[in-house]
A and B are shown apart, each in its own frame.
Chain A
Amino acid sequence: MAVRQSGSTIPDEFTDLLTAKTVAIIATIGPSGAPQASPVWFVWEDGRIRFRVSSTYQKYKNLQRDQRLSVTIVDPARTDRYIELRGVATVGVDHNDELGNALARKYLDLDKLPWENRHEFTPAISVSIERVISMT
């Protein structure tokens, strides 16, 4: 097993993790400075990780306060292969469920999300990657 740092570029041999139907663990910093983490569905688009959060969730509040985050994606088939992406989040809104529907296509093989939005708006997070750590 070897840990490798490769600047902000994802090594070619790990790009399959970006399209696999696996979750990404998002770590953020809570109001007291302690770390928090939870899995999300994500898509990889234009060199960025994109995911949605609920506007009522702590993760959204955390990212509004401190945009630094860490994204860990593990190979679901192998317990010793993963990438960690450290970066900075841009917080926006998922207009017309554009991102939500992209997630439905990736994870559910559906054109659209099969559930109704319960909230006024759904935040969309786009992660600009600054550092990549991989292990194989």
Chain B
Amino acid sequence: MASLKVVTTIPDTFASALAGRSLLTVATTAADGAPQSSPVWFIWDGETFKFVVDNGGKKARDIQRDPRISVSLFDLNSPINYIEVRGKATVAIDRDNAIADQLARKYLSIERQPWTTAEDAFLVVTVHPERTIVQVE
């Protein structure tokens, strides 16, 4: 059976999951302290995970109130392999929709994000890893 390991860097096994069109499941806490989770499209830049949320939306407010966050990624080719990264999130306006454009290129193969004409529709959430837990076959 597979076992869990705490690691300092994400193993190469996950390179394709990090670079490919996989989903990151983001867990946060609501105002009443209950856990919530939802999958998002993401960018991994080698050090941090980035994703966008609606400016003024509930997830943005939850993260601004409590920046502690857990993100997990599993390998769709394996029912066992996954990583969980726990850390702190910082939130900023997605200037010029730069990260939304990157997501559009990664997931939709189009140059520009198709969702908004506003400049401040999205916030970028950047997850700074503090603890990485890995399970591999």
Task: Mark A residues whose CB is within 8 Å of B.
Answer: 21, 23, 25, 27-29, 32-39, 41, 57, 66, 68-72, 74, 76, 79, 82, 84, 86, 107, 115, 133, 135
Q: Are B39 and A82 in contact (CB under 8 A)?
A: yes
A70 and B74 in contact, given A25-B37, A133-B38 (Cβ under 8 angstroms) = no
A28 and B35 in contact, given A39-B82, A70-B27, A79-B21 (Cβ under 8 angstroms) = yes
Beta-carbon nearest neighbor of B28 in chain A: A35
Q: Told that A35-B28, A68-B34, A72-B37 touch, could you supply 19 new A-B pairs with CB distance under 8 A?
A: A23-B74, A23-B79, A23-B82, A25-B72, A27-B25, A34-B29, A35-B27, A35-B37, A36-B86, A37-B25, A37-B27, A37-B35, A37-B72, A66-B33, A72-B25, A76-B76, A79-B22, A79-B41, A86-B34
A72 CA / B38 CA spacing, docked (Å): 6
Q: Is B136 an interface residue (CB 8 A)?
A: no
Could you tell me the dominant secondary structure of chain B's interface residues?
strand
Residue in A27, A28, A29 with the greatest tally of chain B CB atoms within 10 Å: A27
A86 CA / B83 CA spacing, docked (Å): 22
A74 and B39 in contact, given A35-B27, A37-B25 (Cβ under 8 angstroms) = yes
Size category of the binding interface on chain B: 20 to 34
- Bits for B16-28, please: 1 = Cβ < 8 Å to A, else 0: 0000011101011
